Amino acid sequence: MQVGTVSWIALENRRNVINKVRCLARLAEELQIPILITTQTPSKLGGAIEDLFEVAPAAASLTVVREEETQNCFDDTGFSARAAALGRKRLVFCGVETDVCVFHTARGALERGFEAAWVIADASGTGTAANDAVAHARMRSDGVGVATCSMLVSELFPNYAHERGRRARQIQLGEVVRRAAF
């Protein structure tokens, strides 16, 4: 999520999407889950939003700058190499725009042999709810999983009685529930 693209998310949904992205970045940072952040043509679209580095300072060194104007991050050799180096079989994606970069990158993961690709619907956005809905339906039909931030947290940490589960729940409450605009 970049400074120049965050305004592309529908205004009524923007803060919620940012809060969910913050939650995912903070979970990754504090619970040592690998994370990659991409920026596309930062000279035009700006760098990653500060919210990411506020909650996940180490992520600054994990940012992949893509100068090519491609929608699929896997078309960038630097990103492909970094994703492969994570040693993971399942990847989770979020960002802007759901129906363009997120859509093509999630499908690109499957095309490159990753076992699973998941898109976090409420941590991604476009200009309209219709664009999001169509993108989610198409991704599902192409084998990409679509979930919410809460679903991911509860799947990764199903027992809040354990230390990591409690910490994940605290992060979620702090970044999503307490930051929600009512």
Dist CA 159 CA 62 (whole Å):
29
Share of the chain above pLDDT 70, in %: 98
Give tens-digit pLDDT for 154-181.
999 999 999 999 999 999 988 887 777 5
At residue 24, the pLDDT reads 94
Answer yes or no: are the C-beta atoms of 2 and 40 closer than 8 Å.
Answer: yes
pLDDT over threshold 50, residue 103 = yes
Answer yes or no: are the C-beta atoms of 73 and 108 closer than 8 Å.
Answer: yes
The stretch 35-58 carries a mean pLDDT of: 88
The DSSP annotation for 38-70 comes to EEE-HHHH-SB-HHHHHH-GGGGGGEEEE-S--
SS3 state at 22: helix
Query: How many CB atoms neighbour CB 95 within 10 A?
Result: 25
At residue 70, the pLDDT reads 85
At residue 181, the pLDDT reads 56
Dist CA 85 CA 146 (whole Å):
24
pLDDT over threshold 50, residue 182 = no
Whole-structure pTM value = 0.91
Beta strands in the chain (DSSP E): 37-40, 63-66, 90-96, 116-125, 145-147
Give tens-digit pLDDT for 8-44.
898 888 999 999 999 999 999 988 888 888 888 888 9
Structure tokens at 15: 């803060």
Looking at the DSSP bridge assignments, the partners of residue 95 are 124
Structure tokens at 160: 């809040």
Mean pLDDT taken over the chain: 90
Structure tokens at 69: 């104007």
pLDDT over threshold 90, residue 123 = yes
